């Protein structure tokens, strides 16, 4: 484990919590600080592709995710009226005990991660952030927002796409950019026998349904929203219903069940890839703080969890912190870049098609296949 004995993790989301778990498995203690005093997450689902399940398995969390979620083999691709065009098994690299994909609610995943972190004895401080930090070469001196000072061997910024730490480390750092697309999500009862993920292609949007539990699934609807408008919270239900109106079949039936604006989760797609190494001295960024992608490949959280697993392996094996963090970036950056660039490209093709321009055709599917082939390779 070298010289790294005490780590501060800023951010108690997927990246920060998996980092705390992975480090602990390597005998490295951490303290997690989380700005949100309620430490809560929103209530829709998340897709866990096979490389995410492999990374979760490597830090002891794979089986718990399967037990709390709903595994499935792959995707059915459908017309807007529900007619099935094709069916494709998803890549499966997590081993015979695992399905290719697992759908899980975000609260269920959050509970698995928080239970693990608290259960292993990691200290979590809620409602706290960083006020200042000073890297003196052999340690980082931090002053927290409650005025308390403390020193750490390493600080990990896992504080999301709008990372405060990124701003402190890199004054001229890139900021998240809106891609022109947004995602609307809503939970529904899962019809019996609805055992695959399904994608539906409309003329000005695409929809997906993802099994989450025995009784639940969620819808994601991807639309183009010019100028990144602020959507009024109390109208989200009617705005979503309006956008679902180009669909027939099951999506049309589900449309009638969208009754609660407060249960609609709306997010603009915003992307950011830090072009330089993700560390400066003894402060490192991981997860969305370093690379935030569109959800086209469902790989944002997967990249965060891979970051955590790889970082813990490398810190556990190497004593030279600068060389380790540089090598970590060299190992992780190509995968993060692939996810980032593929997502942006897929989104541009979709928007062009929705504007009436020629469809990308085979290139669209090939982009998915190419990305998943690389992401299936060892990290
Ligand atoms: C519409 C949509 C759908 C998606 N679907 C998928 C999917 O199906 N599969 C997938 O793999 N990925 C998906 N993603 C991506 C995934 O949600 C993110 O990549 C993932 O949540 C990143 O985790 P993170 O921990 O890096 O950041 P975050 O989830 O943003 O967590 C950051 C945490 O840090 C805390 N924090 C922030 N600032 C501070 C501070 N200054 N001090 C202390 N704490 C702080 C926050 O409160 C938060 O708890 C999707 C994203 C979107 C937008």
pLDDT at 317: 80
294: pLDDT strictly greater than 70? yes
Which pLDDT band holds residue 172 (cuts at 50, 70, 90)?
Answer: confident
Ligand 1 center from residue 14 Cα (angstroms): 6
pLDDT by residue (tens digit) across 33-87? 999 999 999 999 999 999 999 999 999 999 999 999 999 999 999 999 999 999 9
Nearest CA to ligand 1 atom 2: 295
Q: Whose CA is nearest to atom 19 of ligand 1?
A: 300
Question: Does residue 210 come out as left (phi exceeding 0), alpha (psi in the -120 to 50 range) or beta?
Answer: beta
pLDDT category at 108 given cuts 50, 70, 90 is: very high
Mean pLDDT, the chain, as a whole number? 97
pLDDT band at 1 (very low <50, low <70, confident <90, very high): very low
Other beta carbons within 10 angstroms of residue 128's beta carbon come to 18
Give, in order, the Cα–Cα distances in Å from 326 to each of 15, 90, 276.
19, 33, 10
Taking the alpha carbons at both ends of the chain, their separation in whole angstroms is 21
Question: What are the boundaries of each domain within the chain?
Answer: 6-41+107-176+271-375
| Residue 157 Cβ < 6 Å to ligand 1 | no
| C-beta 35 within 6 A of ligand 1 | yes
Strands 197-201 and 74-79, sheet pairing:
parallel
| Ligand 1 atom with least separation from CA of 45 | 8
In this prediction, residue 316 has a pLDDT band, given cuts at 50, 70 and 90, of confident
Tens digits of residue pLDDT in 219-237:
999 999 999 999 999 999 9
Taking the C-alpha atoms of residue 143 and residue 256, their distance in angstroms, rounded to an integer, is 51
Q: Is the pLDDT of residue 97 over 60?
A: yes
Choosing among 3.50.50.60, 3.90.120.10, 3.30.70.150, 1.10.10.10, the CATH entry for 6-41+107-176+271-375 is 3.50.50.60
> Residue 163 CA: which ligand 1 atom is closest?
38
């Amino acid at each position: 484990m070298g010289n790294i004995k005490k780590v501060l993790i800023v951010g108690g989301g997927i990246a920060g919590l998996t980092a705390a778990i992975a480090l602990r498995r390597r005998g490295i203690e951490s303290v997690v600080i989380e700005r949100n005093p309620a430490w809560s997450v929103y209530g829709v689902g998340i897709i866990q592709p096979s490389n995410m399940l492999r990374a979760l398995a490597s830090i002891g969390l794979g089986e718990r995710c399967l037990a709390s979620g709903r595994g499935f083999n792959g995707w059915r691709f459908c017309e807007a009226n529900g007619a099935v065009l094709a069916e494709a098994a998803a890549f499966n690299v997590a081993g015979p005990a695992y399905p290719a994909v697992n759908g899980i609610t975000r609260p269920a995943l959050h509970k698995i991660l928080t239970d693990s972190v608290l259960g292993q004895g990691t200290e979590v401080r809620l409602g706290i952030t960083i006020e200042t930090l000073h890297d003196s070469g052999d340690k980082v001196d931090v002053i927290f927002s409650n005025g308390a000072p403390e020193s750490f061997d390493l600080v990990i910024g896992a504080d999301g796409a709008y990372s405060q730490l990124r701003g402190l480390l890199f004054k001229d750092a890139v900021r998240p950019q809106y891609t022109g697309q947004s995602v609307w999500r809503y939970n529904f009862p899962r019809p019996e026998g609805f055992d695959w993920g399904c994608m539906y292609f409309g003329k000005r949007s695409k929809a997906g349904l993802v099994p989450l539990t025995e009784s639940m699934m969620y819808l994601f609807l991807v639309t183009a929203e010019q100028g990144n408008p602020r959507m009024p919270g109390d109208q989200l239900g009617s705005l979503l219903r309006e956008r679902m109106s180009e669909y027939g079949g099951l999506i049309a039936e589900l449309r009638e069940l969208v009754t609660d604006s407060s249960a609609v989760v709306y997010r603009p797609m915003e992307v950011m890839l830090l072009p330089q190494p993700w560390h400066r001295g003894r402060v490192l960024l991981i997860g969305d703080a370093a690379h935030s992608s569109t959800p086209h490949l469902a790989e944002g959280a997967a990249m965060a969890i891979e970051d955590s697993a790889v970082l813990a392996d490398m810190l556990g094996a190497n004593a030279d912190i600068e060389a380790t963090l540089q090598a970590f970036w060299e190992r992780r950056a190509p995968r993060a870049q692939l996810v980032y660039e593929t997502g942006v490209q897929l989104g541009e093709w979709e928007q062009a098609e929705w504007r009436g321009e020629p469809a990308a055709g085979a290139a669209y599917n090939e982009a998915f296949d190419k990305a998943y082939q690389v992401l299936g390779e060892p990290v």
